[in-house]
A = this chain, B = another copy of it.
Amino acid sequence: MKDINFEKEFHSIKEFAEFVGITEKTLRRYDDEDIFAPAKRDGDGERNKYRFYSPIQITTIKMIRVLTEIGVSFDTIRELKHNRTPEKLLKLLRQHKNQIADNINVLQEVYSIISTYNELLYDAISVTETEITVTEMPKRNIILGELTDFNETAGFYREFVRFCRTNHEPNLNMSYPVGGYWDNITSFFNEPAQPARFFSLDPNGNDYMPAGLYLVGYTRGYYGQTNDLPKRMAAYAKNNGLKFEGPVYNIYLTDALSEIDRDQYLLQVSASVVETRHSKSRHPQYYFKK
Q: Which of B59, B101, B177 contacts A59 (CB 8 A)?
A: B177
A40 within 8 A of B: no
Q: Hey, what's the 0/1 contact readout for A191-233 against B, CB within 8 Å counting as 1?
A: 0000000000000000000000000000000010000000000
Q: Which residues of B contact A66 (CB under 8 A)?
A: 110, 113-114, 175
User: Contacts A56-B223, A86-B254, A177-B59 hold; do A9 and B94 have CB atoms under 8 A apart?
Assistant: no
Residues on the B chain within 8 Å of A74, using CB: none
User: Which residues of B lie under 8 Å from residue A59 when comparing CB positions?
Assistant: 174, 177-178, 255-257
Q: A201 CB to closest chain B CB, in angstroms?
A: 11
Interface residues of A in 255-276 (CB under 8 A from B): 255-260, 266
User: How many copies of the polypeptide does the oligomer hold?
Assistant: 2
How many angstroms from the CA of A288 to the CA of B7 in the assembled complex?
45
A50 proximal to B (CB < 8 A)? no
A63 at the B interface (CB under 8 A): yes
Interface size class of chain A, counting residues whose CB lies under 8 Å from the partner chain: 35 or more
> Contact mask A54-68 → B, CB, 8 Å, 1/0?
111111101101100
Q: Are B153 and A258 in contact (CB under 8 A)?
A: no
Instruction: Determine the distance from Cα of A257 to Cα of B85 in the docked complex, in whole angstroms.
Output: 8
Residues from chain B with a CB closer than 8 A to the CB of A20 are 174
Min Cβ gap A250→B in Å is: 14
Q: Report chain B residues within 8 Å CB of A155.
A: 7, 9
- Tell me whether A111 and B107 are in contact (CB under 8 A): no
Are B259 and A121 neighbours in the complex by a CB distance under 8 Å?
no
Contact B110 A60 (CB under 8 A): no
Q: A86-B124, A110-B66, A157-B9 are in contact. Are A58 and B97 (CB under 8 A)?
A: no
A118-153 vs B, CB cutoff 8 Å, 1 = contact: the mask equals: 100110110000000000000000000000000001
Beta-carbon contacts under 8 Å, A81-115 to B: 83-90, 93-94, 96-97, 100-101, 103-104, 106-108, 110-111, 113-115
Q: Which residues of A pack against B, CB within 8 Å?
A: 4, 6-7, 9, 19-20, 54-60, 62-63, 65-66, 69-70, 83-90, 93-94, 96-97, 100-101, 103-104, 106-108, 110-111, 113-115, 117-118, 121-122, 124-125, 153-155, 157-158, 160-162, 164-165, 174-175, 177-178, 223, 253-260, 266
A–B pairs, 23, beta carbons within 8 Å: A9-B157, A55-B160, A56-B160, A59-B255, A59-B257, A62-B174, A63-B257, A65-B175, A70-B114, A84-B257, A84-B258, A85-B258, A86-B121, A86-B254, A86-B259, A88-B258, A89-B117, A89-B121, A89-B257, A93-B118, A97-B118, A101-B111, A103-B107
